Amino acid sequence: MPPLKNFIATASMAMASAASAHAGASISVTGPKIDFIKIDETITLRRMVTSPASPKGIVLFLHGFPETLIVWKEIAEALSKDYEVHAFDWPGYGQSSRPSAPEFSYSPKDYARLLKAYIAKTRVDRSNLVIYASDIGGLPALLLAIEEPTVARKIIVGDFAPFNRPQYMYENLQNLKAEPTATPTLAYMNKTSDEILQNVHRRGLARETQYELSPEVETEMRASWTRAGMTSADAFALYYSHFNRDQDYLEANLDKLRTPIKVIWGDRDIYIHHDMGKEFAERTNAQFDVLSGIGHFPHLQDPAITIREVRAAFAD
């Protein structure tokens, strides 16, 4: 079996490239504005923004796998009267750029640099900014906070993997970190993409708490799985190939975290056990809330939770 990066390159060449969105183009939608912002010569991000006349604050949402910015649309609409809301597609997801590695590594550190560039480019008021980061968005937000403690007034993180703790990780996720398991795991994910998109959000939940994605979210994730010769699973696997290094860096620099942090976690999350969140919260003196009956995607399962968390962050 070829190494992971070679496997991705070979697989990408075999895939049909979806139509690319052009930088600066704007999509007409009901609700928040969706357009594109050029970060540098390599990366153009699709983003969503709400701009009320007199915002009480600014919130930036960071999505996880296999999501796109559309997962935040309902929440953005609910907050739009009071807050300026930002969200973007990470490279490798949605309609943002998908450059080839090693031009862009898709590592948590690269995502952190991109997050820094987005905040600088949009000139948001960091003193009144709340970052809400889920899944793969959590580690980049914290890596940036190590470098720039004043990056936000508060960071809310949840259902992510701050530390290299295999005992708390779903086996397939852990298998993505290194060979010989990484390449076959990625191949299986791409082979079973339909099943992943249909069921990833409700695994581990009791029957009575399972839920359906909105047609818009489901259609968006399915349509953007493959684009520019790369799948979201390819980007996810590249992220994981750098995961141990960047987790270890965070753990070694926990004492540099000065930005106020809150940690939330679904107690039914089977991908990353809430004990991971508990350890991180204890070691950073962060508030930690376990959400009863909630899985890995609180914002999808019960958007009201996310809305309350954002409002509470600005009330502090």
pLDDT tens digit string along 52-85?
A: 999 999 999 999 999 999 999 999 999 999 999 9
Q: What is the pTM of this model?
A: 0.91
Those residues whose C-beta lies under 8 Å from the C-beta of residue 6, and which sit 6 or more positions away, are: none
Scanning the structure block, which residue is given the tokens 């540099």?
Answer: 256
Among candidate residues 135, 140, 132, the one with its CA nearest the CA of residue 66: 135
Residue 157 has pLDDT above 70, yes or no: yes
pLDDT > 90 in the chain, percent? 88
What does the pLDDT read at residue 276? 98
**Region 284-306 average pLDDT:** 98
Run of H or E residues at 50: strand 44-50
The structural domains of the chain, with segments of one domain joined by +, span: 4-315
Residue 44 has pLDDT above 50, yes or no: yes
CB 132 within 8 A of CB 161: no
pLDDT > 70 in the chain, percent? 90
Residue 151 has pLDDT above 80, yes or no: yes
Dump the DSSP string for 251-312: HHTGGG--S-EEEEEETT-SSB-HHHHHHHHHHHT-EEEEETT--S-HHHH-HHHHHHHHHH
**Region 266-274 average pLDDT:** 98
May I ask the CATH architecture of the domain 4-315?
3-Layer(aba) Sandwich (3.40)
- Residue that wins the pLDDT comparison between 19 and 155: 155
Instruction: Kindly indicate the confidence band of residue 316, based on its pLDDT and cuts at 50, 70 and 90.
Output: confident
Instruction: Kindly indicate the confidence band of residue 308, based on its pLDDT and cuts at 50, 70 and 90.
Output: very high
CB 201 within 8 A of CB 213: yes
What does the pLDDT read at residue 39? 97
CB 160 within 8 A of CB 134: yes
Residue 27 has pLDDT above 60, yes or no: no
What is the layout of strands, in order, in the sheet containing 33-38?
26-27, 33-38, 44-50, 83-88, 57-62, 129-134, 154-158, 261-266, 287-291
Task: Read off the tokens for 7.
Answer: 């496997």
- Residue that wins the pLDDT comparison between 1 and 270: 270
What does the pLDDT read at residue 60? 98
Q: Minimum mean pLDDT among 17-21, 129-133, 221-225: which range?
A: 17-21
**Region 306-314 average pLDDT:** 98
Please give the backbone phi and psi of residue 124, each rounded to the nearest 5 degrees, phi first. Answer: -70, 155
What does the pLDDT read at residue 102? 86
CA separation for the pair 225, 194 (Å, rounded): 10
Q: Minimum mean pLDDT among 30-39, 168-177, 209-218: which range?
A: 30-39
Residue 19 has pLDDT above 80, yes or no: no
What does the pLDDT read at residue 282? 98
Summary mean pLDDT of the chain: 92
CB 117 within 8 A of CB 40: yes
CA separation for the pair 234, 229 (Å, rounded): 10
CA separation for the pair 20, 1 (Å, rounded): 31
- Residue that wins the pLDDT comparison between 24 and 140: 140
Q: For the segment 97-115, what is each residue's pLDDT rounded down to a tens digit?
A: 999 988 899 999 999 999 9
Q: For the segment 106-141, what is each residue's pLDDT rounded down to a tens digit?
A: 999 999 999 999 999 999 999 999 999 999 999 999
Those residues whose C-beta lies under 8 Å from the C-beta of residue 171, and which sit 6 or more positions away, are: none
Instruction: Kindly indicate the confidence band of residue 5, based on its pLDDT and cuts at 50, 70 and 90.
Output: low
Helices (H), the chain: 4-14, 73-79, 108-122, 138-147, 171-175, 182-191, 193-199, 215-223, 232-241, 243-252, 274-284, 298-301, 303-315
